[in-house]
Amino acid sequence: MKVLWTSRATQQLHAAYDYWSAEHSPQAGDRMLERILSAVQMLEKYPDAGRHGRIPGTREIVIPRTPFLIPYRLQHDKVQILAILHGARKWPENL
Protein backbone atom coordinates (compact mmCIF):
# COMPACT_ATOMS: atom_id res chain seq x y z
CA MET A 1 0.00 0.00 0.00
CA LYS A 2 1.07 3.54 -0.62
CA VAL A 3 1.57 5.78 2.42
CA LEU A 4 0.43 9.41 2.27
CA TRP A 5 1.20 11.98 4.96
CA THR A 6 -1.16 14.85 5.67
CA SER A 7 0.51 18.24 5.96
CA ARG A 8 -0.57 18.27 9.61
CA ALA A 9 1.23 14.96 10.26
CA THR A 10 4.37 16.19 8.51
CA GLN A 11 4.41 19.36 10.62
CA GLN A 12 3.87 17.34 13.78
CA LEU A 13 6.70 14.98 12.82
CA HIS A 14 9.09 17.94 12.52
CA ALA A 15 7.85 19.36 15.83
CA ALA A 16 8.24 15.97 17.56
CA TYR A 17 11.79 15.66 16.24
CA ASP A 18 12.69 19.18 17.40
CA TYR A 19 11.15 18.55 20.83
CA TRP A 20 12.83 15.17 21.33
CA SER A 21 16.21 16.47 20.16
CA ALA A 22 16.03 19.46 22.51
CA GLU A 23 14.77 17.46 25.51
CA HIS A 24 17.23 14.59 25.12
CA SER A 25 19.93 14.95 22.45
CA PRO A 26 20.22 15.22 18.67
CA GLN A 27 21.10 11.51 18.57
CA ALA A 28 17.98 10.66 20.57
CA GLY A 29 15.97 12.77 18.12
CA ASP A 30 17.44 10.77 15.24
CA ARG A 31 16.55 7.46 16.94
CA MET A 32 13.00 8.65 17.62
CA LEU A 33 12.62 9.72 13.99
CA GLU A 34 13.93 6.35 12.79
CA ARG A 35 11.42 4.52 15.01
CA ILE A 36 8.53 6.57 13.64
CA LEU A 37 9.59 6.13 10.01
CA SER A 38 10.14 2.38 10.50
CA ALA A 39 6.66 2.00 11.97
CA VAL A 40 5.13 3.90 9.06
CA GLN A 41 7.11 1.81 6.57
CA MET A 42 5.73 -1.34 8.21
CA LEU A 43 2.21 -0.08 7.42
CA GLU A 44 2.98 -0.38 3.70
CA LYS A 45 3.04 -4.17 4.08
CA TYR A 46 0.81 -4.59 7.14
CA PRO A 47 -1.78 -1.80 7.09
CA ASP A 48 -3.97 -3.54 9.68
CA ALA A 49 -1.09 -3.76 12.18
CA GLY A 50 -2.40 -0.89 14.28
CA ARG A 51 -5.17 -1.16 16.82
CA HIS A 52 -8.61 0.32 16.24
CA GLY A 53 -8.37 4.07 16.78
CA ARG A 54 -10.08 6.20 19.38
CA ILE A 55 -11.75 8.13 16.59
CA PRO A 56 -14.15 6.09 14.42
CA GLY A 57 -12.71 5.10 11.04
CA THR A 58 -9.10 5.32 12.19
CA ARG A 59 -6.39 2.98 13.39
CA GLU A 60 -3.33 3.85 15.47
CA ILE A 61 0.11 2.49 16.15
CA VAL A 62 2.19 3.04 19.25
CA ILE A 63 5.82 3.91 18.55
CA PRO A 64 8.03 1.70 20.75
CA ARG A 65 10.31 3.44 23.28
CA THR A 66 8.72 6.84 22.60
CA PRO A 67 5.60 8.59 23.93
CA PHE A 68 4.25 9.00 20.39
CA LEU A 69 1.29 7.45 18.60
CA ILE A 70 0.36 7.64 14.95
CA PRO A 71 -3.32 7.67 14.02
CA TYR A 72 -3.98 6.70 10.41
CA ARG A 73 -6.81 5.90 8.05
CA LEU A 74 -7.07 3.19 5.41
CA GLN A 75 -8.46 4.40 2.09
CA HIS A 76 -8.71 1.82 -0.69
CA ASP A 77 -5.05 1.09 -1.51
CA LYS A 78 -3.60 3.91 0.62
CA VAL A 79 -2.57 4.47 4.22
CA GLN A 80 -3.11 8.09 5.22
CA ILE A 81 -0.98 9.25 8.17
CA LEU A 82 -3.20 11.71 10.03
CA ALA A 83 -1.02 12.93 12.90
CA ILE A 84 1.94 12.33 15.21
CA LEU A 85 0.59 12.66 18.74
CA HIS A 86 2.21 12.62 22.17
CA GLY A 87 0.43 10.03 24.30
CA ALA A 88 0.34 12.25 27.40
CA ARG A 89 -1.54 15.03 25.65
CA LYS A 90 -5.29 15.30 25.26
CA TRP A 91 -6.48 13.35 22.24
CA PRO A 92 -8.19 15.49 19.57
CA GLU A 93 -11.88 14.92 18.91
CA ASN A 94 -11.30 14.60 15.18
CA LEU A 95 -8.43 14.31 12.75
- Cα–Cα distance for residue pair 25/23, rounded to 1 Å: 7
The answer to whether the pTM exceeds 0.75 is: yes
The pLDDT mean for the chain works out to 95
Go through the domains of the chain in sequence order and give each one's CATH number.
2-86 (3.30.2310.20)
Burial of 72 (0-12, 13-18, 19+ CB in 10 A): buried
- Cα–Cα distance for residue pair 51/43, rounded to 1 Å: 12
- Cα–Cα distance for residue pair 61/39, rounded to 1 Å: 8
**Using one digit for the tens of pLDDT, what is the confidence trace for 17-51?**
999 999 999 999 999 999 999 999 999 999 999 99
How would DSSP label each residue in 15-32?
Answer: HHHHHHHHHT-HHHHHHH
